[in-house]
Amino acid sequence: MGQVCQSFKSLMQLQLQDEKLPPLLSSFDMEGIAGYIAEKGCKQVVVMCGAGISTSAGIPDFRTPGTGLYDNLQRFNLPRAESIFELKFFRKTPQAFYELVRELWPGNYEPTPAHYFLRLLNEKGILRRCYTQNIDSLEGRAGLPAEKLVAAHGNFDEAHVIDTWPEIKVPVHELKRALDAGEEGWKELKKAKGGLVKPKIVFFGEALPDRFNRLHMTDLAACDLLIVMGTSLVVYPFAGLVGVANKSAPRLLINRDQAGTCDTLESGFRFHLQGEDNWRDVFHKDDCDAGCRTLAEHLGWKDDLEALIQSEGRVSVCNAPWV
Ligand code: CNA
């Protein structure tokens, strides 16, 4: 058994050696990333983002202790916080999810500087795609065109009746009207449609949208830089995209804390490792807005970013009821 493990370990080490490349960056920091973008003329940047790009808009993330949704869902009396995104619980107690949906409905929050940075990457002609776990649609509200976005966990663009096959679609404005009318409203909608209606937000155990499955392998293979922002990288399959990124693409994480690290296999970030064990990963510990501004500054795009934010005239003001 010991021998088998030893052979397996040697095999993995061999594979790892094969995968290693000479350092891709002149320095493993924002300056190094900006220099790489300019020198190599990157044009296939892929961004992955999570709830951390929207916290400055007033929408809490999931897991930050104290302010995260998981710590603040007690008012819904859930058996556990994750239940709010479970079909089993929704079927029995839809009120909890419906209250959350009403609060998060697009239009209640404004984009953050990090969202405008996504749009800037696109306007500079270097964004291949943005993969978001967020359901708040703030990327689009900041002006990122729909073809550049993959809403991996769904959003409020569509609604459907659960437990139906083939799926029965419901216009989202009907759901909105029903939710605005309170408990009577969604009960009437349920009766009219023959089942509970939910926005197409991916619940635990549900399949990710076709668009995600169709695009992610080619996008990640073609990417020449991966930027990951505001995510704990614990939800799969989304988090697995980090490991699929082209081996010759540097990877940058902008986050309050390290996430997605991996020592043994090339499936996660390696910025915590020294020397040749890390040839491409950078961790920039900061808030997403500040990190994006720092990168924009290093790229000589500081004024462009600020002008974009100002021109839209709508940037986040943190006034959420739950923070
Ligand atoms: P998470 O697990 O809560 O992780 C968020 C990460 O971002 C943590 O590592 C935080 O430290 C970090 N963070 C928080 N705020 C900032 C900030 N301002 N700057 C930098 N880093 C910050 O959330 P994930 O997105 O990783 O989890 C995936 C879930 C979250 C998806 O299924 C989403 O649907 C879900 N979610 C979405 C929203 C939204 O749409 N805005 C809100 C809450 C949860």
List the CATH number of the domain containing 189.
3.30.1600.10
What is the per-residue pLDDT for 266?
59
CA 79 to chain centre: 26
CA distance 38 to 22: 19
Q: Is-catalytic flag, 153?
A: yes
Ligand 1 proximity of 56 Cβ (cutoff 6 Å): yes
Residue 176 has pLDDT above 50, yes or no: yes
Total count of domains within the chain: 2
Q: Same domain, yes or no, for 194 and 218?
A: no
What is the per-residue pLDDT for 63?
78
Interval between CA 137 and ligand 1 midpoint (Å): 14
Residue 123 has pLDDT above 70, yes or no: yes
Residue where the block lists tokens 């009577």? 184
What is the per-residue pLDDT for 3?
35
Tokens, residue 140: 């689009």
Report DSSP letters for 155-174, one per residue: EEEEEEETT-SSPEEE-HHH
Give kind and range of the element (H or E) at residue 129. Answer: strand 127-132
CB 238 within 8 A of CB 133: yes
CB 271 within 8 A of CB 261: yes
Residue 13 has pLDDT above 70, yes or no: no
Q: Same domain, yes or no, for 81 and 178?
A: yes
CA distances 217 to 142, 151, 278, Å, are: 26, 15, 23
Residue 243 has pLDDT above 60, yes or no: yes
Write out pLDDT tens, residues 291-323: 999 999 999 999 999 999 998 766 665 444 443
Q: Same domain, yes or no, for 166 and 243?
A: no
Among 167, 174, 132, 117, which Cα is nearest to 48's? 132
Instruction: From the candidates 115, 153, 284, 298, give the one annotated as an active-site residue.
Output: 153
Q: Whose CA is nearest to atom 3 of ligand 1?
A: 62
Candidate from 62, 130, 269 with most ligand 1 atoms within 8 A of CB, to mutate: 62
Q: Flag whether 62 is marked binding.
A: yes
- Number of CB atoms found within 10 A of residue 180's CB: 11
Helices (H), the chain: 2-19, 30-40, 87-92, 94-104, 113-123, 138-141, 172-180, 183-193, 210-222, 241-244, 288-298, 302-312
Residue 17 has pLDDT above 60, yes or no: no
Ligand 1 proximity of 291 Cβ (cutoff 6 Å): no
Ligand 1 proximity of 96 Cβ (cutoff 6 Å): no
> Rounded to the nearest 5°, which phi and psi values hold at 218?
-70, -40
Burial 43-66, CB ≥16 within 10 A → b, else e: ebbbbbbbbbbbbbbbbbbbbbee
Q: Same domain, yes or no, for 227 and 295?
A: yes
Range of the domain at 10: 2-57+111-153+211-312
Residue 73 has pLDDT above 90, yes or no: no
If one compares 264 and 302, the residue with the highest pLDDT of the two is: 302
CA 89 to chain centre: 24
Mean pLDDT, the chain, integer:
88
Ligand 1 proximity of 155 Cβ (cutoff 6 Å): no
Ligand 1 atom closest to Cα of residue 69: 43
In a domain? residue 319: no
Q: Same domain, yes or no, for 28 and 128?
A: yes
In a domain? residue 62: no
Q: Same domain, yes or no, for 277 and 149?
A: yes
Q: What does the pLDDT average to over 263-274? A: 79
Write out pLDDT tens, residues 100-116: 888 889 888 999 999 99
Q: Please work out, in degrees rounded to the nearest 5, the angle formed at the alpha carbon of residue 122 by the alpha carbons of 116 and 123.
A: 85
Q: What does the pLDDT average to over 115-126? A: 98
Q: Same domain, yes or no, for 181 and 264?
A: no
Q: Same domain, yes or no, for 171 and 267?
A: no
Ligand 1 proximity of 137 Cβ (cutoff 6 Å): no
Q: Same domain, yes or no, for 116 and 90?
A: no
What is the per-residue pLDDT for 72?
72
**Chosen domain end from 201, 234, 261:** 201
23 cis-preceded (ω within 30 degrees of 0): no
